[in-house]
Structure 1
Amino acid sequence: MKMPDISFLDSSGRPIQKAESYTGTGTGFGGQLQRWNPRAKTADAALLPDLKRGNARAEDLVRNHALAKNGVQLHVDNIVGHMFRLSYKPKWRALGMSEEDARAFAKEVEDAFTEYAEDPINCYVDAERKRTLTMMCREITANHTSAGEGMASAEWITGRPGALFNTAIKLVNHHRVCNPNHAPDSNSLRAGVKVDRFGAAVGYWVRNHDITGYGLSDGMGNAWTFVPRETRWGRQQFLHVFEPRGDGQTRGENQFLSVMEQLPQLSKLQQTKLQNAIVNAMYAAVIESELGSEAAMEIIGGDLSTDKLTQYMSTLADYHEGADIRLNGVKIPHLMPGENLNLLTSGNADNGFSELESSITRWIAAGTNTSKESLTKDYRELSYSTARASMMESWRYFMGRRKIIPSRFASMVFALWLEEAIDSGRIRLPRSATRGFYEAKASWCNCEWIGSGRIAIDGLKEVKESILLIESGLSTYEKELAKMGEDYQEVFAQQVREMEERKKAGLPPPSWVKALALAPDQEEPEAVGGVS
């Protein structure tokens, strides 16, 4: 039995309205929000049921949609760049050694690790021997953009000719991490991740490859391997990087979920507009005749026989062919008496297409955290100020992503390598250190990573800004050169070598002060219509 609605009345007999603290929790003006009643869910409850479908759609967009593909490429180029450099910084105070010993040790470690990680010929850092560490970081960043996470396993491969280290990294497709035999999620198993009572990952179920039937299958077999997160002594076995957004979140969310509806519709809109443009470029020529039905019947012999009709049409065709009148090469048809020539063209109206397309691309740019101009490669409406504001906003976002995704992944790889290098004796800890590797692993593995440099819209202004920051004590050469994607130690060493070579060649030393004095100040352009 349905319970009757209960309402409270005031002293005048009118229903008492419910007091609302926020207008967003009410029904809205005119009741627009009355039917908007989403359920409150945890991050996993909202994401995991449709995780596979959402990631598959995002990957399809990246493969086939230009804006989606460029959105991923912008993340890769701005976050990682062409070279992901290690800047090793052991916490020498926590390790009980002097700063001088720490710097010497850091230089030794950087040289040895770069030789291992960025070997473009052997690629021993990659279990597949296809990628350098920079290439792996680029792939992890691309996967994180389109799938919300990056995954890899730590392998121990012996017997490789010429390899000094056995540590190798195998990148893992995120689709392969799933529950064994497609079992439903539970409190301890979520989307292929085994977790403890606090939600921390204990291990990962990885589905094997199946190379048969490519083109018909998804490339995955029907057997699963359990990979623990780490060994009993703390060596990491599975690398999983993503940025959680909520309590207990197990897997990452891809960048395109908020614009999944707009992206494919934009391509359909453009295709429809293109077809419309093709139709608008076409015309049809029609010859109208004033010849009545009775006159036509008399001409064709009183009946509609095929022979008479064919004879009549042939007569008209012979006449039109004979009347070959041209003006500057263009034929002007001389029609039979009573005939008219009409040209039929379709209407050509924009119907607000440009504004609609611009609105959709702005929405997509906001959802992918990129600027509309860089996403569409259209910089016509930018001035210096707007271009710099857009660039700085994107730069702040990219630097946050660099710290959380590729830097964290690269630090995991570095920790695995450093552990083996110390254990094998190829790297020896400074004698002044008071704590061993396993006693202070985080301090020994502390490092920064230098990726792509910040785009300089006006090179002269950017250099002047850096000089002023350094001279005023607000920044350092290390930070300013890192903004350019350079390692200050490498730059300083190269400058010393060049100064010595210039001195031997009898050339005067360069004067940065004079070079700056020769560069006049430039006023910011006021006109809008291009980046100055």
Structure 2
Amino acid sequence: MTKSVRKFRGDLVSTDGGTTWRAAGLYGSLGDSAHMGASVTSRELAGWNPLQGSADSDLLPDLSTLMVRSRDLTRNHGIASGAAQTKVDNVIGTGLRLSATPDYRALGRDKDWAVEWSQQTESLWRSWADTTDCDAAASLNFDAQTRQVFYGGLLNGEALALPLWMPDGRSKFATRIQVIEADRLSTPIGRIDGQYLRGGIEIDDYGKPLAYWIRKAHPGDSYIGVVPQFADWERIPAETPWGRKRVIHVHEKERTGQSRGKPDLTAVLTQFKMLDHYQRTEIQAAVVQAMVAAFIETPLDSNTLATMLG
């Protein structure tokens, strides 16, 4: 006997109450769903059927294209460039300042000790961060590196930094920071992404990073033919045997299981490109119109003609 169905608050169940419309495979076959956004019959949404992908399957195949398009947009579109620069200025400003405030009560100390310790620590920090000794390339201080990392995060969705131990016998501290552009983090040639390798990052069963595969040179250097190492990768463990991080991967995870960051301009790339094309077309049309010369032949005198033309 065929069972009838009844509708309760937008849901469909059999008369025995045991089979839902989803289990019966009736999704969308009997009209609109309870949620307008899930409709498969409305004119606006009928052709909208996104894939049910994971965070990595949705992002990783497109990440390289999103990166280069975001960078191209900020290079060539004034509004996009200004928006990115304004965000950097508002968040980073002239730089981040260390404010050392130890929980002296938990440490069994008094407030006087905390004040003295804070002053000494902040002084040592400034002696390292305010000089180029903190940079592996010896060209930027920590404030400039911070701006570079944040700006790279906007354009590429992420940035990487390698804390290196580089004693030189001159500086008081041997710690140096090497900032790495996200393009250099990738899966090596001959290997493919899978359960334990995602966009150049080795992970365990829980998604914890175990190692990072980083090119020895930027892949873009291949176009100028001066750096052959762009096809060589180095496997860098995520941390030392005693737990110190060897790779600082700065990115925002929007979804569970997301291994890489997504550029901030991703959702508006199409609109920005269309706006850029529209503005260029309008300006070109205005330039052409301004260059058109017109000649009028008439037996009227100049004063009469001027009056007629306003």
> Which interval holds the TM-score relative to the shorter structure?
0.7 to 0.9
Q: Secondary structure at the match of 2:163?
A: strand
Which of 76, 80, 100 is residue 64 of structure 1 equivalent to? 76
CA distance in structure 2 between the partners assigned to 1:223 and 1:154 by the alignment = 21
* 8 A Cα contact 1:207 1:223, kept in partner: yes
Q: Which residue of 1 aligns with 2:197?
A: 189
What is the CA deviation profile of residues 221-260 of structure 1, one whole-angstrom value per residue up to 9, with x for unaligned ones?
1111111111111111111111101111100111011001
The alignment status of 1:24 with 2:24, answered yes or no, reads no
Letter in 2 for 1:226: R
Q: Secondary structure at the match of 1:93?
A: coil
* 8 A Cα contact 2:154 2:263, kept in partner: yes
CA distance in structure 2 between the partners assigned to 1:48 and 1:133 by the alignment = 30
The alignment status of 1:263 with 2:275, answered yes or no, reads no
Q: Which residue of 2 aligns with 1:180?
A: 188
CA distance in structure 2 between the partners assigned to 1:234 and 1:9 by the alignment = 60
Q: Which residue of 1 aligns with 2:179?
A: 171
Shift of 1:9: 9.2
Which of 138, 146, 155 is residue 147 of structure 2 equivalent to? 138
Shift of 1:59: 0.9
Q: Which residue of 1 aligns with 2:87?
A: 75
> CA 1:18/1:219 → structure 2, altered by over 3 Å: closer, same or farther?
farther
Letter in 1 for 2:45: L
* 8 A Cα contact 1:75 1:141, kept in partner: no
CA distance in structure 2 between the partners assigned to 1:75 and 1:212 by the alignment = 29
Q: Secondary structure at the match of 2:99?
A: strand
> CA 1:163/1:217 → structure 2, altered by over 3 Å: closer, same or farther?
closer
Deviates more, 1:206-215 or 1:88-97: 206-215
> CA 1:67/1:191 → structure 2, altered by over 3 Å: closer, same or farther?
same
Q: Secondary structure at the match of 2:139?
A: coil
Q: Secondary structure at the match of 1:267?
A: helix
Q: Which residue of 1 aligns with 2:106?
A: 94
Letter in 1 for 2:122: E
> CA 1:219/1:32 → structure 2, altered by over 3 Å: closer, same or farther?
farther
Aligned residue pairs total 278
Q: Which residue of 1 aligns with 2:10?
A: none
Shift of 1:195: 0.7
Q: Which has the higher contact order (CA 8 A, sep 6+)?
A: 1
Q: Which residue of 1 aligns with 2:248?
A: 239
Q: Aligned ranges for residues 371-386 of structure 1 at < 5 Å?
A: none
Letter in 2 for 1:191: G
CA distance in structure 2 between the partners assigned to 1:219 and 1:269 by the alignment = 41
CA distance in structure 2 between the partners assigned to 1:283 and 1:159 by the alignment = 68
CA distance in structure 2 between the partners assigned to 1:204 and 1:89 by the alignment = 33
Q: Which residue of 2 aligns with 1:148?
A: 157
CA distance in structure 2 between the partners assigned to 1:236 and 1:250 by the alignment = 17
Letter in 2 for 1:205: W
* 8 A Cα contact 1:76 1:142, kept in partner: yes
CA distance in structure 1 between the partners assigned to 2:270 and 2:227 by the alignment = 24
Shift of 1:71: 1.4
Shift of 1:103: 2.1
User: Gaps spanning 5+ residues in structure 2: where?
Assistant: 7-28
Which of 205, 210, 222 is residue 202 of structure 1 equivalent to? 210
CA distance in structure 2 between the partners assigned to 1:100 and 1:188 by the alignment = 50
Q: Which residue of 2 aligns with 1:274?
A: 283
Letter in 2 for 1:137: T
Letter in 1 for 2:160: M
> CA 1:105/1:272 → structure 2, altered by over 3 Å: closer, same or farther?
same
CA distance in structure 1 between the partners assigned to 2:152 and 2:180 by the alignment = 10
* 8 A Cα contact 1:125 1:167, kept in partner: yes
CA distance in structure 1 between the partners assigned to 2:139 and 2:107 by the alignment = 37
Letter in 2 for 1:168: R
Identity %: 31
Q: Secondary structure at the match of 2:233?
A: strand
TM-score when normalising by structure 1 = 0.49
What is the CA deviation profile of residues 352-411 of structure 1, one whole-angstrom value per residue up to 9, with x for unaligned ones?
xxxxxxxxxxxxxxxxxxxxxxxxxxxxxxxxxxxxxxxxxxxxxxxxxxxxxxxxxxxx
CA distance in structure 2 between the partners assigned to 1:87 and 1:50 by the alignment = 40
CA distance in structure 2 between the partners assigned to 1:36 and 1:189 by the alignment = 31
CA distance in structure 2 between the partners assigned to 1:53 and 1:232 by the alignment = 36
Structure index of larger Rg: 1
Considering only aligned residues, what root-mean-square deviation do their CA atoms show, in Å?
2.9
> CA 1:9/1:151 → structure 2, altered by over 3 Å: closer, same or farther?
closer
> CA 1:278/1:204 → structure 2, altered by over 3 Å: closer, same or farther?
same
CA distance in structure 1 between the partners assigned to 2:227 and 2:269 by the alignment = 22
What is the CA deviation profile of residues 480-528 of structure 1, one whole-angstrom value per residue up to 9, with x for unaligned ones?
xxxxxxxxxxxxxxxxxxxxxxxxxxxxxxxxxxxxxxxxxxxxxxxxx
- Between Structure 1 and Structure 2, the one with more helix by share is 1
CA distance in structure 2 between the partners assigned to 1:212 and 1:25 by the alignment = 47
CA distance in structure 2 between the partners assigned to 1:270 and 1:133 by the alignment = 39
The alignment status of 1:53 with 2:65, answered yes or no, reads yes
The alignment status of 1:112 with 2:114, answered yes or no, reads no
The alignment status of 1:40 with 2:57, answered yes or no, reads no
* 8 A Cα contact 1:176 1:220, kept in partner: no
Q: Which residue of 1 aligns with 2:233?
A: 224
CA distance in structure 1 between the partners assigned to 2:79 and 2:206 by the alignment = 39
CA distance in structure 2 between the partners assigned to 1:327 and 1:17 by the alignment = 77
Shift of 1:24: 1.3
What is the CA deviation profile of residues 35-87 of structure 1, one whole-angstrom value per residue up to 9, with x for unaligned ones?
21112222111101111111111111111111111111011100010132110
CA distance in structure 2 between the partners assigned to 1:212 and 1:37 by the alignment = 39
User: Gaps spanning 5+ residues in structure 1: where?
Assistant: 1-7, 11-15, 290-325, 333-342, 344-532
TM-score when normalising by structure 2 = 0.81
